[in-house]
Amino acid sequence: MFSVFGISIPISATELLLASATFCLVFWVVRAWQPRVPKGLKSPPGPWSWPLIGHVLTLGKSPHLALSRLSQRYGDVLQIRIGCTPVLVLSGLDTIRQALVRQGDDFKGRPDLYSFTLVADGQSMTFNPDSGPVWAARRRLAQNALNSFSVASDPASSSSCYLEEHVSKEAEALISKFQELMAGPGRFDPYRYVVVSVANVICAMCFGRRYDHDSQELLSIVSLSNEFGEVAASGNPADFIPILRYLPNTALDVFKDLNQRFYIFMQKMLKEHYKTFEKGHIRDITDSLIEHCQDKRLDENANIQVSDEKIVNVVMDLFGAGFDTVTTAISWSLMYLVTSPSVQKKIQEELDTVIGSARQPRLSDRPQLPYLEAFILETFRHSSFVPFTIPHSTTRDTSLNGFYIPKGRCVFVNQWQINHDQKLWDNPSAFWPERFLTADGTINKALSEKVILFGLGKRKCIGETIARWEVFLFLAILLQQVEFRVTPGVKVDMTPIYGLTMKHAHCEHFQYSESIKKQKKKKKKKKEEEEKRKKKEEEEKEKEKEEEKEKEKEKKKKKKRKKRKKKEKKKMHTCKTAQSILGFITLFLHCM
């Protein structure tokens, strides 16, 4: 029995020795597990964590908010544990730019997470841990293919580029769909129709085809994407607690199934393209990749060829990049429009002034529509619907802000924190598009570059430019013709639902009316038509009067002619009578 601080503890010397040895062993293992920090550097700070589960409970249902709060206490570089895995969390615009741009090669890796191996059979360009020459070559190939069928111009079209042509068609089809819905139930959830229109744009670029809004094939693709987002939103503990991979896991099984079904669909599209492929007649992105594959062209810097399997993976990455982000951006934009009607009115007034109603908005109008651009930037910033980039990892031992970071460290980049940082934004919780406008009404470029949604550096989204253009053009065309609102008395729920992309709750109470300009145009047209009709009626009446006058004149003329004829006839008769009398007198005189 031992006494500690006057308290008797019933423990033997052997038990005490074993306890001490165990403590020393655990302490040694923990110290050995932690990387040795080079002299002059520090380990990133962070809160105390629970054994086995780490900071899972701290993160809760809104990790972006929890980690933003932790950054206020521990700084822009902090470390947490998810399960047994250490994770570096980066916040602050300067720190994130330093890591992803200036030290881009150090932070361009992807962590070897189990769920990443299930996407595109582990060969996804976006999720694959590889960041070497093979990855770089495939990324360039994908970027070139995407540009060729989006920002490049179509010689057979009056549009400035393929993207403008596709979006213009889909936006008009979307307006027609809204008109049908308003003629029927009188209210609708725009998300389910926006998602189909955006899917059609990426299908046109990737596969050279568009679908009807009720096409089962297209709806199945949309459903797969939505399910993928919902499952991914719940997170995958097996990524950070390896033993869970071998235990029954319904969410993981669903995730595997979704990826497999999407992969099968892409393989089917590739087979169809191979059957109809004609060299020299490249119709879309898939054809472009097939041509590259068949030509067996080698990359300039690395001996890399693209197999059929890689084509499927590249198309899957491009489809994902051009679909979910744009859909979510437009959907959030519509929510902000109905909750900020004065903002919607300003956008429509700008469209009326700059473009009018004689033609559709075009991409070339973008510099002349600064308020619409400011609205889009504020939607990106305020919603921050991509709260984190896809996790990064370090490719080698490095340091950041005086902290040592070992190779292979999983890195979370908190984009939400940047977009709501009080050091960067006045009243960040307020939705205020005017913050992006200068005194002369143009876009404040320096401030607009502080909105981070598509990542930075070597792993930034390859579809960022296209996504921005697409969101702009969809909104410009819609708002030129339509004014959105919700059913009176309905409260719109703007609470974000956490996920890879944060969605809002579905709102089935949307309504719309034609824009004020369009209403005025219709009213003006109606007035002009009415005036035309009245003028025509007056002209017809005038014509009738003229005809009546002409008839009257003709009647009088006829009467005069008749009278004259009668007079002439009478005169002739008188003459004849006179002649007869004269003849009779002559004859009488002759007989005498």
Find which of 8-12, 36-40, 336-340, 356-360 is predicted with most confidence, using mean pLDDT: 336-340
Instruction: Assess whether pLDDT exceeds 80 at residue 573.
Output: no
* pLDDT computed for residue 30 by the predictor: 47
Annotated binding residues, written as ranges, equal 461
Instruction: Give the pLDDT confidence score for residue 566 in this predicted structure.
Output: 74
Q: What pLDDT score does 47 carry?
A: 96
What pLDDT does residue 525 have?
59
pLDDT of residue 159: 80
pLDDT at 499: 83
CA 106 to chain CA centroid, nearest Å: 31
Q: Tell me the per-residue pLDDT of 494-553, one tens digit each, with 9 for 90 and over.
A: 999 888 889 988 888 888 776 545 555 555 555 666 777 778 777 777 887 777 777 777
Residue 559: what pLDDT? 75
HEC assignment per residue over 528-540: HHHHHHHHHHHHH
Q: Of 27 and 501, which is predicted with more confidence?
A: 501
Percent of the chain with pLDDT strictly greater than 70: 83
Joined tokens for residue 485: 């609102």
pLDDT tens-place string over residues 109-152: 999 888 888 887 778 888 888 888 888 888 888 888 888 888 88
Distance separating alpha carbons of residues 268 and 217, to the nearest angstrom: 12
Residue predicted with more confidence, 4 or 188:
188
pLDDT band at 5 (very low <50, low <70, confident <90, very high): very low
Q: What is the token pair recorded at 430?
A: 């307020």
* pLDDT at 484 exceeding the cut of 60: yes
Residue labelled with tokens 């002759």: 590
- Known binding-site residues for heme equal 461
- Please, are residues 482 and 514 in contact by the beta-carbon 8 Å criterion? yes
Between the ranges 225-234, 266-275, 344-353, where is the mean pLDDT highest?
344-353
Per-domain boundaries in the chain: 114-517
What gap in Å lies between CA 193 and CA 181, rounded to an integer?
11
User: Residue 81's beta-bridge partner residues?
Assistant: 86
pLDDT of residue 181: 84
pLDDT above 50 (res 28): no
Confidence of residue 339 (pLDDT cuts 50, 70, 90): very high
Across the chain, what does the average pLDDT equal? 84
Q: Does pLDDT of 87 surpass 80?
A: yes
**Mean pLDDT lowest for which of 15-29, 261-275, 309-323, 474-488?**
15-29
Per-range mean pLDDT, top range of 204-208, 437-441, 585-589: 437-441
pLDDT at residue 26, rounded to an integer? 43
When pLDDT is averaged across residues 338-349 and rounded to a whole number, the result is 96
CB neighbour list of residue 541: distance below 8 Å, 6 or more residues apart: none
> Is the pLDDT at 8 greater than 60, yes or no?
no
Between the alpha carbon of residue 246 and those of residues 53, 233, 250, 253, the distances in Å are 17, 21, 12, 11
Least confident interval from 47-56, 115-124, 361-370:
115-124
pLDDT class for 338, splitting at 50, 70, 90?
A: very high
pLDDT in tens, 402-456: 999 999 999 999 999 999 999 999 999 999 999 999 999 999 999 999 999 999 9
Quick one: pLDDT at residue 2? Answer: 34
Question: Sign (positive/negative) of CA torsion 463, 469, 471, 477?
Answer: negative
Q: Does residue 14 carry a pLDDT above 90? A: no
- The answer to whether the beta carbons of residues 374 and 443 sit under 8 Å apart is yes
Tell me what the mean pLDDT of segment 7-29 comes to: 46
Considering 29-33, 379-383, 545-549, the range whose residues carry the highest mean pLDDT is 379-383
Percent above pLDDT 90 for the chain: 44
Residue keyed to tokens 């005189």: 589
| 311: pLDDT strictly greater than 70 | yes
Which pLDDT value is given to residue 520? 52
pLDDT at 227: 75
pLDDT digits (tens, 9 = 90+) for 315-324: 888 887 778 8
Three-state secondary structure call for residue 392? strand
CA nearest to 320, candidates 165, 133, 146: 146
pLDDT of residue 308: 67
Q: What are phi and psi of 8, to 5 degrees?
A: -80, 125
Give how far the C-alpha of residue 588 lies from the chain's centroid of Cα atoms, to the nearest Å.
123
pLDDT computed for residue 583 by the predictor: 63
The string of pLDDT tens digits covering residues 186-200 is 788 899 899 999 999
For the ranges 258-267, 416-425, 568-577, the lowest mean pLDDT is seen at 568-577
All residues at 6 or more sequence positions from 103 whose CB lies less than 8 Å from its CB, including other chains: 398, 400
For the four alpha carbons of 254, 255, 258 and 261, in that order, the dihedral sign comes to: negative
Residue 20: pLDDT above 60? no
Options 3.20.20.10, 1.10.760.10, 2.160.10.10, 1.10.630.10; CATH of 114-517: 1.10.630.10
Higher pLDDT, 164 or 535: 164
Mean pLDDT of 306-313: 74
Question: How many Å apart are CA 223 and CA 261, to the nearest integer?
Answer: 11
Q: Quick one: pLDDT at residue 306?
A: 61
